[in-house]
Amino acid sequence: MKKTIIITGGAGFIGSHVVRLFVNKYPEYRIVNVDALTYAGNLENLRDVEAADNYIFEKADILHTDDLERIFSTYQPDGIIHLAAESHVDRSILSPLDFVYTNVVGTVNLLNAAKKLWGSTLYPQPSTFPRFYHVSTDEVYGALGETGLFTEETPYSPNSPYSASKASSDHFVRAYGETYHLPVIITNCSNNYGSHHFPEKLIPLFINNIIHKKPLPVYGDGLYTRDWLFVKDHAAAIDLVFHKGNNLATYNIGGFNEWKNIDLVKLLCKLMDEKLGNVKGTSEKLIAYIKDRPGHDRRYAIDASKINKELGWKPSVTFEEGLAQTIDWYLENTEWLKNVTSGEYTKYYDLQYTKR
């Protein structure tokens, strides 16, 4: 019998890369993508795999327990990879409750559905099935100063409503592991970049704005630091942890690739000018320093030595290669960009920036 894996949030940025990897790499699995198709979910992201025999799409909101009950009893999943979430920090500042609902309540709904199906059995280690895998973020750890790295032992100290909701959902996942022996596993990953990334996040927003010669809104002094990882390397790490990680373990995933925002923006401007055939320095002129994000975390950086030593994972592409591939994808897919930045989304986007 084929193993069935539910992937939630599979129509989003990272989820679509995970679905594509699993559908292509594991014909022996049946992949069920459960996604509500919010503003961030887009089935265009999965056109190349939608006709595959081992792929099924279920449009469902993880807040609707009736839908989850139907889906779990129909497909009887052997594994769940949970990525569905509200994922944008700026939106969480404007509308924290949406994040509590989807990220916290939605995750608990999925945990309940898995518990009902799998019972409270103590499964042996190591074992892949059944497994409930929560894809989480490094933002749960809060902010770093000039030095130091987040390890799996760093205490949780979330600063934004988004990271508070992800921290809370991580705690529920862990609690279901301890209390009901649910076979759970969590990864905390740094900032991803790559194709199909919604243009509200720094890199795709700035690529889109450069294409349209619009201002590049750098928050505060621009000296905030993020650790960037190519999304396909994150998907590869998820595959590895899903199959080889230990229940109740957590793993940090990161790019060993720290950039101050302003340096990254200048690099992006330079690469975009080269690709667009612009005079050197053209895009940098679009940089506009604006009011800071409230509660803005100064620096994130991941110590990914545990996943490296225990499971042999490391990033496969350099930042230069990954960024060049990403820019090429956006330049070749301007229609995708146009579609996702039209209609309702445009209204929200304008609202966000006039509020500052």
Instruction: Show which residues are catalytic.
Output: 138-139, 162
Partner interacting with residue 218 (select from ligand DAU, ligand NAD, none; CB below 5-8 Å by kind)? ligand DAU
φ, ψ for residue 132 (rounded to 5)? -115, 110
138 touches ligand DAU by CB under 6 A: yes
Instruction: Give CA–CA dist 52/55, Å, rounded.
Output: 5
Q: Which of residues 163-222 bind ligand NAD (CB under 6 A)?
A: 166, 189, 191-192, 198
Tokens of 243: 């199959």
Give me the residue whose beta carbon is nearest to ligand DAU.
Answer: 137
Residue closer to ligand NAD by CB (options 187, 283) is 187
Minimum CB separation of residue 205 from ligand NAD in Å reads 13
Q: Which of residues 86-115 bind ligand NAD (CB under 6 A)?
A: 86-87, 102, 106
Contact window for ligand DAU (CB under 6 A) among 21-29, 42-50, 108-116, 197-205? 197-205
Burial of residue 34, with CB atoms counted within 10 A of its CB: 0-12 exposed, 13-18 middle, 19 or more buried: buried
Indicate left, alpha or beta for 196 from its phi (over 0: left) and psi (-120 to 50: alpha).
left
Nearest residue to 114 via CA among 59, 167, 172, 176: 176
DSSP state of 286: G
**Other CB atoms within 10 Å distance of the CB of residue 36:** 19
169 touches ligand DAU by CB under 6 A: no
Residue closer to ligand DAU by CB (options 55, 133) is 133
Give me the residue whose beta carbon is nearest to ligand NAD.
Answer: 12
Nearest residue to 58 via CA among 19, 24, 22, 97: 19
Contacting positions for ligand DAU (CB under 6 A): 87-89, 137-139, 190-191, 201-202, 205, 217-219, 224, 226, 261, 293, 300
